[in-house]
């Protein structure tokens, strides 16, 4: 039996873990779907429409923003969010490739 040495790039692994973590939560997926349906939208509309507490909404948005899943910009007192479709598409491709190889 041959042993294969496993080597990971720690930085890429950390980035991948954060991305998967950001996409693996049901509430974050609901928020992403809502942003997708509405385009760029501010946090107030998100938590009022989805009936989620403001603090919880902000925590989930922060996780997705740090993972690069969403982009944010401030306009006056409002922070507007939009989906970074390039990052989401790369995650989708990676997951599909993994599932295809493990089948």
Q: Which two tokens stand for residue 34?
A: 């809502």
Quick one: pLDDT band at residue 100, thresholds 50, 70, 90?
Answer: confident
pLDDT at position 39 over 80: yes
Mean pLDDT of 22-50: 96
Contact between 83 and 35 (Cβ < 8 Å): yes
pLDDT at position 9 over 80: yes
E strands, the chain, in order: 41-42, 70-75, 78-83
| DSSP bridge partners of 41 | 81
Contact between 64 and 32 (Cβ < 8 Å): yes
pLDDT at position 8 over 90: no
Mean pLDDT of 91-101: 87
Quick one: pLDDT band at residue 103, thresholds 50, 70, 90?
Answer: low
The CA-based dihedral angle spanning residues 10, 14, 20, 25, taken in that order and rounded to the nearest 10 degrees: 150
From first CA to last CA, the distance across the chain in angstroms is: 23
Mean pLDDT of 62-67: 96
Please report the domains of the chain, with CATH numbers, ordered by start residue: 10-102 (1.10.10.10)
- Whole-number mean pLDDT of the chain? 92
């Amino acid at each position: 039996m041959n042993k294969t040495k496993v080597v990971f790039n720690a930085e890429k692994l950390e980035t991948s873990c954060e991305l998967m973590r950001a996409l693996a939560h049901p509430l974050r997926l609901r928020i992403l779907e809502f942003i997708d349906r509405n385009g760029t939208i501010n946090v107030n509309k998100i938590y009022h429409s989805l009936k989620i507490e403001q603090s919880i909404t902000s925590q989930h948005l922060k996780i997705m923003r740090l993972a690069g899943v969403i982009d944010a910009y401030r306009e006056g007192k409002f922070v507007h969010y939009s989906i970074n479709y390039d990052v989401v598409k790369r995650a989708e491709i990676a997951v599909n490739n993994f599932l295809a190889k493990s089948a």
